[in-house]
Structure 1
């Protein structure tokens, strides 16, 4: 695969997937605003290489921001090739082997699998061509981004955080954002559900300082693997080896015993001391499209910074979708569907997590239905499986349905009984979910469409009173209303679904409203049956009122000043025709001038 991030950049350039920006740009908000405009273009725009960042290092953004670039990053012509490869591998591994001949036929497969395991090397790697330790180990030299105006500071957004279980010695590579507090201290934003947090708790029990090393760049397969929902105690570098078809070569860090990829671009070495008081981290404009607000997280202390001589600093921008994280999620769908079918739910045929759901909130699953209630079993099982436990809304459809075809899905939703065919539950939610009053825990809903005839007749479209939007009524059966929080909205007769939004959202598209509804609701509080209709209250939640959360965040938008700056400088960037700032569209949703209401 790729021997460096620069090698991947060269491929992107040859394939017409990269734009170099030679004009001077600031890592403070300007790079993020440019990237946000490009990443929301049809097809995800281009990858962007900012060559003049005020530091010695260029910045690469949007490198995974299209399905084509995601496939290029993983060394395949299409993501479907990964699905076929994994399906074939698992079928071969599970095939019965009753004879010696059958067993001998498995040897080539076993030999190939053995080649994926990471390997350690002596000496230093390319990532250690330049070494800074002690007082010279400063993060000030790196072009770390501040993305949004209410962010608490600059954040490392694509870190591969390497930790080791102190009790078993098993390695984990996760991706946890890191806020810079000073030149040698950052926050370590690992949630309670994450493996890094479990390693931290184990070190705390043992009274040990926790070594941590952060790798940046190198083969894009490393970065993807750090985001992947691998089972606990499974090595992410093994997944990277599978994707690369060759093992990851690891070298020992300079100031701790962690091993990192030899060919990555940067390594930030250091430690977390569990005996030390946690620091206040955030706010941060997050992938949910809202700010995640201040909270307390462990402090990471830098002991060394090493890098390649030709290092490129990789970064991602998250915020209101679509962003490049949606393309990463599509790769995860393709890579992990086969293991889900084999190990967890053999009746599952396909799985999609639409970009409006920002990774977790919405899932569409097709299954082979053989008996009544099977969709309930599938939903409950998936809600207990790895990162699927964070899902809030699930639509279960029969096999043969294209789970990515909105028209096909609408035929089922339109004909559902929204009261009878609803499966309700409670469970774990993402810590970043801002709608629930109990952080990390809330409601879940599945719509069981597996017994629905998509060709059955539907009731006549009702005539709605003035003030309701009807553009989703004929296709989806959904009426839209817009009112201030707390105002009463009656369900019109003949309506199956009513979704109520803030008045400021009245001009958003259907896709944008789906994102807002999934983000702003806790199904146990905000989704109710009213007669024969299902009502979804997707309005902002006044903090502390009734069962509302104690804090409620703002949507993520650029400041008027940075939007005006990028408007003025657009021709300098060499990006072609002018692209309007998405933030102009979403500023009407702001509830205040800061990160929260």
Structure 2
């Protein structure tokens, strides 16, 4: 089922018991953050929060933590298994050549699904029920949050920022934070490694202004795909159509030559002049849990704001993990596993820990086939899309459960000789990494935690992992189950007494 709009998704969240409405008057300046942060750090991510009485913005509710649990992420993408989306992409990227007429017939439904996923331009749009231009423009009419005390201002944190390549016409939709500077001016955080920045430099070379649209809301799939690390020049709204199995309805903007989702909540249209000086952006309390300092980013002039008559402002906050973005990141990890395996068939699984802010650690298990195989995998991952930001890559044997941090530390600690199994390299790092001397450039560590072979220089006998005899396990299984059941029962009784 494809959601028509954000309201339809909210209705489902409420039906599923995943929404909590807050009717108390709350300020968008710091207060929503404090409440949301407490809820996000509850077991399993708490609930989605709908603030219905935002101080100064009583007519515009604020939705936050809509993606902040595994269940809500699956509801948002309408899947039972995230990997299913990855396999859809895999089949598109690696289609099997039909050998017989029957094979060709079998391909017809799949090709039809791809055709159905293409974006479609419509004439009428809910997001254009209200159109404001000229002196009527005021971005501060919306309850944009100031998240943390030392933030440089208010930031739109869950946008779909749309731009087009001036040479190919291909669309990029990215999730780049937006700082409000004036009622008709914002700063766009186009990081140097992202698609938006690539467009910026192309327009600058041509001496042309850049049309930009900032989209808020719509089918939750649209918000997710803006954050997805797709290959360059893959249209995010096409990807959304593949997930939804239904094309995204787009409408032409009022003042710029771009198309945006017709059923979004709010659209901010405008342009960036790449020949103008960059402006100060930040500080901003970031997903690393630290403030990102002031830096220079492009200034966008707002030429129009369009929105529904009764818009809902969807947002998020980032900070010390775990937070809502952690569940979005883990969904991405699972969705893109098939594509990692498309390039590296030896990969069994990988884990980008939430507490490691995703880019700080990558634990990967492989089917090791030859000496030095772990180093080949490290180098390949450092050259693969946004995995290039991985600061530490640790490679394990295929039987190691890299999703279990206790098992990761057990094997890492026991299998690694630091003088032999560690490589240090210089390369691209996330621009938010404050540990490096230079922005976006620093050290990277690769660690081989696999079993070492004699062909790799290990001359001792590698020890076996301890395992209990299977017959003994089966024999005492009833006793074990009884003991565990009795212990748990006692612990529950003790907990009830404390409550």
Q: TM-score, normalised by structure 2?
A: 0.88
Q: Secondary structure at the match of 2:380?
A: helix
Q: Secondary structure at the match of 1:106?
A: helix
CA-CA distance at 1:84 after TM superposition? 5.6
- Greater Cα offset, 104-113 or 202-211: 104-113
CA-CA distance at 1:451 after TM superposition? 1.6
- What's 2:260 paired with? 260
The answer on 1:77 being equivalent to 2:76 is no
CA-CA distance at 1:83 after TM superposition? 4.8
Q: 2: distance between equivalents of 1:256 and 1:85? A: 33
Contact 2:127 2:266 in 1 (8 A): yes
Q: Secondary structure at the match of 1:27?
A: coil
The answer on 1:441 being equivalent to 2:441 is yes
Assess, with a 3 A threshold, how the Cα gap between structure 1 residues 389 and 80 changes in structure 2: closer, same or farther.
closer
- What's 1:466 paired with? none
CA-CA distance at 1:410 after TM superposition? 2.5
Deviation per CA, 1:469-510: give whole Å up to 9, x if none: xxxxxxxxxxxxxxxxxxxxxxxxxxxxxxxxxxxxxxxxxx
Contact 1:256 1:270 in 2 (8 A): yes
- What's 1:41 paired with? 42
- What's 2:69 paired with? 66
Contact 1:124 1:252 in 2 (8 A): no
Deviation per CA, 1:142-190: give whole Å up to 9, x if none: 0010000000000010110000111111110011111111111111111
Q: 1: distance between equivalents of 2:96 and 2:196? A: 35
- What's 1:313 paired with? 313
CA-CA distance at 1:425 after TM superposition? 1.6
Contact 1:151 1:283 in 2 (8 A): yes
Segments of 5+ residues of structure 2 without an aligned counterpart are: 453-461, 467-499
- What's 2:410 paired with? 411
- What's 1:483 paired with? none
Q: 2: distance between equivalents of 1:274 and 1:313? A: 29
- What's 1:165 paired with? 165
Q: 1: distance between equivalents of 2:356 and 2:463? A: 24
Contact 1:412 1:454 in 2 (8 A): no
Q: 2: distance between equivalents of 1:84 and 1:145? A: 37
Q: Secondary structure at the match of 2:161?
A: strand
Assess, with a 3 A threshold, how the Cα gap between structure 1 residues 414 and 154 changes in structure 2: closer, same or farther.
same
- What's 1:512 paired with? none
Q: TM-score, normalised by structure 1?
A: 0.74
Q: 2: distance between equivalents of 1:352 and 1:65? A: 18
Question: Displaced runs of 4+ in structure 1, greater than 4 A?
Answer: 83-87, 452-457
Q: Secondary structure at the match of 2:450?
A: coil
Contact 2:83 2:336 in 1 (8 A): no
Q: Secondary structure at the match of 2:50?
A: strand
Contact 2:84 2:335 in 1 (8 A): no
The answer on 1:351 being equivalent to 2:350 is yes
Q: 1: distance between equivalents of 2:230 and 2:365? A: 22
Q: Secondary structure at the match of 2:274?
A: coil
Q: 2: distance between equivalents of 1:402 and 1:172? A: 36
- What's 2:245 paired with? 245
Assess, with a 3 A threshold, how the Cα gap between structure 1 residues 209 and 145 changes in structure 2: closer, same or farther.
same
Deviation per CA, 1:316-348: give whole Å up to 9, x if none: 100000011111111111111111211x21211
Q: Secondary structure at the match of 2:304?
A: strand
Contact 2:44 2:69 in 1 (8 A): yes
Deviation per CA, 1:238-283: give whole Å up to 9, x if none: 1111111111011000111110000110000011011111111110
- What's 1:389 paired with? 388
CA-CA distance at 1:37 after TM superposition? 0.6
- What's 2:401 paired with? 402
Deviation per CA, 1:494-533: give whole Å up to 9, x if none: xxxxxxxxxxxxxxxxxxxxxxxxxxxxxxxxxxxxxxxx
- What's 1:430 paired with? 430
Q: Which has the higher helix share?
A: 2
Segments of 5+ residues of structure 1 without an aligned counterpart are: 458-597
Assess, with a 3 A threshold, how the Cα gap between structure 1 residues 18 and 455 changes in structure 2: closer, same or farther.
farther
CA-CA distance at 1:100 after TM superposition? 2.5
Contact 1:265 1:307 in 2 (8 A): yes
Q: 1: distance between equivalents of 2:139 and 2:111? A: 43
Assess, with a 3 A threshold, how the Cα gap between structure 1 residues 130 and 442 changes in structure 2: closer, same or farther.
same
CA-CA distance at 1:79 after TM superposition? 2.7
Q: Return the match for 1:57 from 54, 57, 60.
A: 60
Q: Secondary structure at the match of 1:426?
A: strand
Backbone CA RMSD of aligned residues? 1.6
Contact 1:411 1:455 in 2 (8 A): no
Contact 1:356 1:362 in 2 (8 A): no
Q: 2: distance between equivalents of 1:150 and 1:139? A: 21
CA-CA distance at 1:99 after TM superposition? 2.3
- What's 2:126 paired with? 126
Contact 2:147 2:285 in 1 (8 A): yes
Contact 1:209 1:272 in 2 (8 A): yes
Q: Secondary structure at the match of 1:34?
A: helix
CA-CA distance at 1:311 after TM superposition? 1.3
Q: 1: distance between equivalents of 2:82 and 2:180? A: 35
Contact 1:350 1:367 in 2 (8 A): yes
- What's 1:571 paired with? none
Q: 1: distance between equivalents of 2:116 and 2:463? A: 47
- What's 1:372 paired with? 371
CA-CA distance at 1:86 after TM superposition? 5.1
Q: Secondary structure at the match of 2:240?
A: helix
Contact 1:152 1:284 in 2 (8 A): yes
CA-CA distance at 1:198 after TM superposition? 1.0
Q: Secondary structure at the match of 2:11?
A: helix
Q: 1: distance between equivalents of 2:274 and 2:338? A: 38
CA-CA distance at 1:85 after TM superposition? 5.1
The answer on 1:141 being equivalent to 2:141 is yes
Contact 1:251 1:259 in 2 (8 A): yes
Q: Secondary structure at the match of 2:409?
A: helix
